[in-house]
Amino acid sequence: MRANVFRAPGKFALEEKAIPRPGPGEAVVRVRLTTICGTDVHIVNGEYAVRQGLTLGHEMTGVIHELGAGVEGYEPGQRVLCGAITPCGQCEPCLGGSTSQCEGALGGWKLGNTMDGAQAEYVLIPHAQANLALIPGELADEQVLLLADVASTGFSAAERGRVRLGDHVAVFAQGPIGLCATIGAKLMGAARIIAVDPEPRRLQMAEEMGATMMIAPGPDLVRHIREMTGGRGVDVAIEALGAQQTFESALRCLRPGGTLSSVGVYEGHLDLPADAIIAGLADQSIVTTLCPGGKERMVRLMRLVQAKRIDLRPLLTHMFPLDRIDEAYELFASRAHGVLKVAIQVS
């Protein structure tokens, strides 16, 4: 099979690999659609370390090719969605509800991290019983593809922030995850959703996804957001970029007792200015999120698609075949031509 393989920082390429064989409890899925995620770009740039020779990617839809011993309730040929996070469902973190942290910190994220990922013609799925979600026949792959990671992560940022009916919410950065956080805040009943991003096209998309007010970052950003909320500040601030400036701005626009929900991926040292948290005495909360895992999560999100509560297809702005994945990475990393998410058609 063909697989997109990480070679060294700044280097990746399609290579021939053997089609994997499933062991007990595992499944092999023939990939139909996959994507490029921001985390894949971090890996390629050498900002997140993985082993040389790893197949990249962690968002995919596909068809069951082969099942290992002990996997019940599935058959080869069935179309499935598998989340980016593939927990075992049996360890202490999983049984305690922290499936993304399966067996330890970040342990639920295996595909394209600690084991070969989904930018390939076939992918091995661990703990298949816990992680394969059957795609309803009436739904197209394009309708559910982004549920595997970006949508689930963005929605979870709103969930972890405990957005309540009537809340004022600010979402910093309207990339794919930030846009999905905007959708999540709308689903949870926020009355006002302030979208922050420097790019007009992304602010326009945020409005289409449910934002009620749009603003570009600038020196008076925090003051403007506080004015929009009558001087009170927002109930929930969602930071979806992973940068010091947006993290700090999110803190400064937060009301006393509010929650900062951080879903960005940070590099290096992150400062927490004492005045931004009002000397640590403002009853504020900071929560972090890794995409929830497991088939139950996927099933629930597909119900939202079936009920026409969400439509993520506008976020899939570009499509490339697998043999042009190098061009797809270049486009995605450049953020040119209005790109939001790039889908890779494998089969």
Contact 293, 100 (CB under 8 A): yes
CA distance 19 to 159: 38
Which residues in the chain show pLDDT less than 70? none
CA distance 119 to 346: 8
pLDDT of amino acid 94: 92
pLDDT of 158-206, one tens digit each?
999 999 999 999 999 999 999 999 999 999 999 999 999 999 999 999 9
CA distance 269 to 244: 9
Write out the two tokens for 163: 């957005």
> Beta strand pairing status for 316-321 and 168-172?
unpaired
CATH topology agreement for domains 2-149+291-345 and 152-288:
no
CA distance 135 to 123: 17
DSSP 296-314: HHHHHHHHHHHTTS---GG
Can you list the alpha helix ranges (DSSP code H) found in 209-324? 221-228, 244-252, 295-306
Q: Where are the domains of the chain?
A: 2-149+291-345, 152-288
What is the fold of 2-149+291-345? Quinone Oxidoreductase; Chain A, domain 1 (3.90.180)
Domain 152-288 sits in which CATH superfamily?
NAD(P)-binding Rossmann-like Domain (3.40.50.720)
Flag whether the pTM goes above 0.85.
Answer: yes
Contact 57, 117 (CB under 8 A): yes
pLDDT of 46-88, one tens digit each?
988 999 999 999 999 999 999 999 999 999 999 999 999 999 9
pLDDT of amino acid 252: 96
Identify the sign of the CA torsion 246, 248, 253, 256: positive
pLDDT of amino acid 130: 95
pLDDT of amino acid 269: 87
pLDDT of amino acid 145: 98
For 34, the 3-state DSSP assignment is strand
Contact 53, 114 (CB under 8 A): no
